[in-house]
Amino acid sequence: MADAAYSLAPKPEGATGVLVLSDGHVVWGRGFGHIGEAVGEVCFNTSMTGYQEVMTDPSYAGQIVTFTFPHIGNVGVNEEDLESKVDGAVGCIVREDVTPSSSFRAAGEYGQWLADKGKVGLSGIDTRALTRRIRKLGAPNAVMAHDPEGNFDIPALLKRAQDWPGLEGMDLAKLVSRHIQEGWEGSVWTLGQGYGRSPHDARPHVVAIDYGAKDNIFRNLVKAGARVTVVPAEATLETILALEPAGVFLSNGPGDPAATGKYAVPVIQALLERDMPVFGICLGHQMLGLAAGAKTAKMFQGHRGANHPVKRLGDGVVEITSMNHGFAVDNQTLPENVEETHVSLFDGTNCGIAIKGKRAFGVQYHPEASPGPQDSFYLFEKFVGILG
């Protein structure tokens, strides 16, 4: 069947890039960025802006991002829009060829930046058709390759795609997490001034567990009035308590929450037993759900983009949110002591919980935006507001 699939997609003249799905489906295009191969799960992101922030979000580790917006890379890149220094997405798929940068903030070109970061790009793709395929058949494993000479061993690429185990069961958090403890110094960005500095006044101390965090999370905690210390994903309870936190933040991150939960959940449960204020987002939200007794599950296609509507069940308010997740807390498994606070208006999946009798809550989406709307900044203020 695989042979038939690529016989239906003969290599067109001038093709320097290819995407080979694990089911044998082949998509040809024009390669840019890093020359080589990348393997991962193919997903789609509906954001219209912020491609550099998307590509440097550690939550995309092990994933190939298909951008549904056709013009990607046209405002170049700069050092200010990086969300992390660790690996994020392994590659990207776009509709139009990347044009020279047109922004006064640009310090470099997107294609060269991808090459420097070791990330493969593929342009000239019908991203609408690929997105529809993902929506119908689910997010596939695949290999993308870039060779300026257009030489590709399709059977070998197919085998690599089929041999890749997939994200389910993978603990990627410890691979993208910081490995040392550090005090966070930055604050939010202002045009013409760059990033501010964290004030050194008396502020409630938040220990943030880094499962693959975006930097803008820590900046927003500072903006909301906290002092932040960041610790690795595998930080022990003793390490966290020794820092004398007023509260603990659980960050976003990649991979299967059940795999990360093997070492993260016991720590969170011990914090909850001590009535420590806890706030989690994305993977951190899923860790909190597991710690409370719920289960998580792999989603069919996931949620990724900066325009996802979420309903706040307490008052019916709808927030437009930024999301990036392929797993979710199963709201059918929430125990009696856990209240569902938010749901997706796209598919009804869980987007928020609060643990009754505890100062602990989490949301599935990214209230720090970057990219995305800022409807949900109130959550950082809510968390800082409950710190003793």
**CATH code of 270's domain:** 3.40.50.880
Are residues 120 and 177 located together in one domain of the fold? no
What three-state secondary structure class fits 270? helix
Report pLDDT digits (tens) over 46-90.
999 999 999 999 999 999 999 999 999 999 999 999 999 898 999
Report pLDDT digits (tens) over 226-255.
999 999 999 999 999 999 999 999 999 999
Q: Does residue 303 lie within any of the structural domains?
A: yes
Q: Hunting for tokens 């609408």 — which residue is that?
A: 128
**What pLDDT sits at residue 87?**
85
Q: Is the pLDDT confidence value at 5 over 70?
A: no
Are residues 211 and 352 located together in one domain of the fold? yes
**What pLDDT sits at residue 1?**
32
pLDDT band at 8 (very low <50, low <70, confident <90, very high): low
Q: Does residue 107 lie within any of the structural domains?
A: yes
Are residues 180 and 329 located together in one domain of the fold? yes
Are residues 85 and 190 located together in one domain of the fold? no
Mean pLDDT to the nearest integer, 365-380: 92
Among the candidates 100, 134, 163, a domain finishes at 163
pLDDT band at 193 (very low <50, low <70, confident <90, very high): confident
Are residues 263 and 193 located together in one domain of the fold? yes
What three-state secondary structure class fits 74? coil
Among the candidates 163, 197, 223, a domain finishes at 163
Q: Which residues form the domain of 139?
A: 2-163
Q: Hunting for tokens 């110094």 — which residue is that?
A: 185
Q: Is the pLDDT confidence value at 109 over 50?
A: yes
- Residues of the chain above pLDDT 70, percent: 97
64 near 89, Cβ under 8 Å? yes
The residues near 264 (Cβ < 8 Å, ≥ 6 apart) are 173, 209, 211, 233, 250, 287
Q: Does residue 168 lie within any of the structural domains?
A: no
Q: Does residue 334 lie within any of the structural domains?
A: yes
* 274 Rama class: left (phi>0) / alpha (psi -120 to 50) / beta: alpha
Among the candidates 137, 163, 189, a domain finishes at 163
Are residues 177 and 156 located together in one domain of the fold? no
**What pLDDT sits at residue 54?**
96
Q: Is the pLDDT confidence value at 298 over 90?
A: yes
pTM metric for this prediction: 0.95
Question: How many structural domains is the chain composed of?
Answer: 2
Distance CA 314, CA 317 (A): 8
Write out the DSSP string of 297-355. EEEEEEEEEEEEEEEETTT--EEEEEEEEEEEE-GGG--TTEEEEEEETTT--EEEEEE
Q: Which are the catalytic amino acids?
A: 282, 366, 368
Report pLDDT digits (tens) over 120-161.
999 999 999 999 999 999 999 999 999 999 999 999 999 999
